[in-house]
Amino acid sequence: MGYRQFLPTHCNRNEYIFKDALEYGKKGYVDITTSGWPYYQDEEIKPSTALKLLLEAGVPLAHITFTSDACGSLPGFDPETGKLIKLEMGLPSSNLREVKDAVQVDGVSLEQALQVVTSNPADILKLPGKGYIREGYDADILILDQGFGIVHLMAMGKMMIR
């Protein structure tokens, strides 16, 4: 039996946290936060690469999620004074960017890459009606072109982007 009550996030924040995630993820869930890239390239493991490395380490795909910290603050502090020197914002588009890179750069299958942003979060967070295209579900559907550009978006059965 694995760990099911604790979902650590930002597991790609730095090398030592990610090293722990490679082991923890075999029994529990791990979340890779996508919005810090490219702001913190000197510190973070690129999310698409983190997905590949987790899978190579034997972490079950069903234990891995991508989240974006959408519109959350990404502060930068002066290491000597501790003063705030920059403030970026996490973008929701970072999830799609990292899914694309997982497939096109890191060689993860499209099915695996999509699962970390669709069914895995829905299952882990116990979100009814989400994560799958099934009868009775919410009809949240994203149609992409071959370059991962958004063609259509349906949310709760209503066409949002056509």
pLDDT in tens, 42-68: 999 999 999 999 999 999 999 999 999
* pLDDT band for position 38 (cuts 50, 70, 90): confident
Residue type, position 115, single letter: Q
Is the pLDDT at 31 greater than 80, yes or no?
A: yes
Q: What is the DSSP letter of 50?
A: H
| Least confident span in 61-65, 90-94, 98-102, 123-127 | 90-94
pLDDT of residue 1: 63
* pLDDT band for position 11 (cuts 50, 70, 90): very high
Given the residues 69, 101, 106, 140, select the one marked as catalytic. 69
Run of H or E residues at 152: strand 150-155
Helix axes 15-24, 47-56, angle to 10 degrees: 40
pLDDT of residue 69: 85
Is the pLDDT at 90 greater than 80, yes or no?
A: yes
CB 79: neighbour CB atoms within 10 A? 7
Q: Is residue 106 annotated as part of the catalytic site, yes or no? A: no
Q: Which domains does the chain have, with CATH numbers?
A: 15-131 (3.20.20.140), 134-162 (no CATH)
